[in-house]
Structure 1
Amino acid sequence: MAGIKTISYGENAHALRFAEASGFDDVVISNLAGLVSESAVSNIVWESSGKFYTPPLSTGCLPGVTRSLLLQYFGVIERDTTPSQLQESEAIYLVSSTREIQQVNRYNATEYSLSSSGVELIGKFAEWVRGNLEP
C-alpha cells in the first residue's frame, strides 16, 4: 500500500510515536526490499561526494512538493540507498513543505555537520521559494 497517503500516513504516525518514545525526533522508513523510502513526516535527501540524492518513488515514498522541486530545479538525483549506506553519507536532510530543508544532526550513532554545499542548497531553495511561490 506504499504511495497511498491515507494508508502510509497511519503507518508513519505509528512509527513516529515509537521513535519519539525511544528518544528520537523522527524515523527512517525502509521498504520490504530494505531500501530507504522516507521519514515518518518528510522526504529524505542525502549528500554524497558533493551531490544530493533522494529515494525514487519506486521505494514507496510519497511525491512531496519540496522533493519534486528539488528534483526539478536543483539537480537532486533519484537513487536507491540502504540504511547503512545512508548512514555513510556526508549529510542527511529532511525535506517537506513545512520544514523546507532541515539538516539531520544525528542518524543512529553518526553525527552530521552542515556542509558548504548544504548551506548553498538551503539558501538557494529558500530564495527560490520567496521568489516563486505566493503566500
Structure 2
Amino acid sequence: MNGLIYFNGMLKHEHEVTLWTLDRSYLYGEGLFETLKASQGFIPFLPEHLQRLFHGMEVLRMRFEISASKIEFALYQTLHHNRLKDAYLRLMVSRENREIGSMEIGEGSNVVVLARPFEKPPLRLYTEGMSAQLVEDFKIFPDPLCQVKSTNYLRPLLAHRMARESGYDEALLLNTFGNLAEGATGNLFIFDGKKILTPPLSEGPLPGVTRQVVLELMKKNYLDYEEGPIKMADLLAAEEAFFTNSIKEIAPLTSVNDKPIGTGKVGAQTQRLMELFQEELQYRLESFESKRWGVK
C-alpha cells in the first residue's frame, strides 16, 4: 500500500519520505515507538500509549518540544487522510546526531506516523490458543531500559524469529534471575487455580499498555491477581495462561514447548478477561462517539 505518512508535521507519500542517515534511531537504535490499534476511527488506549512514550523520552533524555496534543493530532491526521477506520498505527520518535563518528546529539528530531489497514490475527489464536517456545539465548536484565519501548528491538525480534522458525507462535524470554519475564511480543499472565499472576515490572517485562488495562480490569471487577515472579515450572503447572499486546489484545496460551497448559484449551478465566476487555473497548468507543457528537 502506497499510503500517506506523517513526517515532521507534514503528510507525504511513502516515496517522498527519507530519514537522514544521522538519525540516532538508525545509527544507535536510540529511538522510541508505539504500536497502536484504531477501531472505528478511534484510538481507544491512546492516553496509556502517550504516557509510556513520554516516560520513555524521560529515560532516554530526549528533550525536545513535542506535546501530547500534537502527537494525537498527527495520529488522527494520518488515520483519516489514509481513509482508515480500523487500522494499525506505528508512531516513531527519534533525534539526530551531530555528525558521523560523534556521540554528540544534534538539533534535529523526527516524528513519524505510519498507518495500515488492520488485519485481524488468525481466529485460531483465540479459539485454540497460542503455542510458545522458551528461548534461552537472550536473557533480560531488569534495568530502566526495560521500561522503554525502544527501536533497539533485537532481543525480542530474534527470539520471535527463532520460535517461529521452530513452528511456534511466540517466544518466551527469561530474565537474569531465571524467571519468566515476558513473551517476545506480549506480556505473560498465568492462572494457578486461585489467582492470576503476571511478572512485576521489577522482573524486566515491558510495561505493556494492554497489560496495564487488564490489571485495572481485574482490580475493578474484584478478580484475585498478583504481580510476582513466575518460573517455568509455575507456567507448566498453571491451569491457564495468556499473552497481552496492543494488536492481539488478549490471546490464550495453551501450550509451551509442546506441553499443554492445563487442559490445553482456552480456560474460563481467560475467556472472562477477554469479555471484560471487549466491554472496556466498547465503553471507550461509545464515550468517544458521545463526545464527538456532544451527547452527555
Query: TM-score with structure 2 length normalisation?
Result: 0.43
Aligned to 1:125: 277
1:35-90 per-position Cα deviation (integer Å, ceiling 9, x unaligned)? 11110000111111142111100111000011011112213421111112111111
CA distance in 2, matches of 1:32, 1:108: 20
Between 1 and 2, higher relative CO (CA 8 Å, sep ≥ 6) is seen in 1
Tell me which protein shows more strand as a share of its residues.
2
Residue 6 of structure 1 deviates from its aligned partner by 2.0
- Does the residue aligned with 2:162 lie in a helix, a strand or coil? helix
Q: Over the residues paired in the alignment, what is the CA RMSD in angstroms?
A: 1.8
Q: Which of 210, 216, 238 is the matching residue for 1:66? A: 210
Q: Which of 144, 162, 168 is the matching residue for 1:18? A: 162
Q: Which of 171, 194, 205 is the matching residue for 1:27? A: 171
Instruction: Give the 3 Å change call, closer, same or farther, for CA 110–122 of structure 1 in structure 2.
Output: same
CA contact (8 A) 2:172 2:182 kept: yes
CA distance in 2, matches of 1:3, 1:62: 5
CA distance in 1, matches of 2:254, 2:217: 25
CA distance in 2, matches of 1:5, 1:97: 13
User: Which structure is larger by alpha-carbon Rg, 1 or 2?
Assistant: 2
Q: Which of 50, 55, 63 is the matching residue for 2:199? A: 55
CA distance in 2, matches of 1:69, 1:3: 16
Instruction: Give the 3 Å change call, closer, same or farther, for CA 7–87 of structure 1 in structure 2.
Output: farther
* Matched residue type, 2:266: L
CA contact (8 A) 1:71 1:77 kept: no
Residue 4 of structure 1 deviates from its aligned partner by 3.4
Structure 2 stretches lacking a partner, 5+ long: 1-144, 220-224, 290-296
- Does the residue aligned with 2:150 lie in a helix, a strand or coil? helix
| Identity in percent | 28
* Matched residue type, 1:42: G
CA distance in 1, matches of 2:273, 2:148: 29
Structure 1 stretches lacking a partner, 5+ long: none
CA contact (8 A) 2:186 2:245 kept: yes
Query: TM-score with structure 1 length normalisation?
Result: 0.89
Aligned length: 135
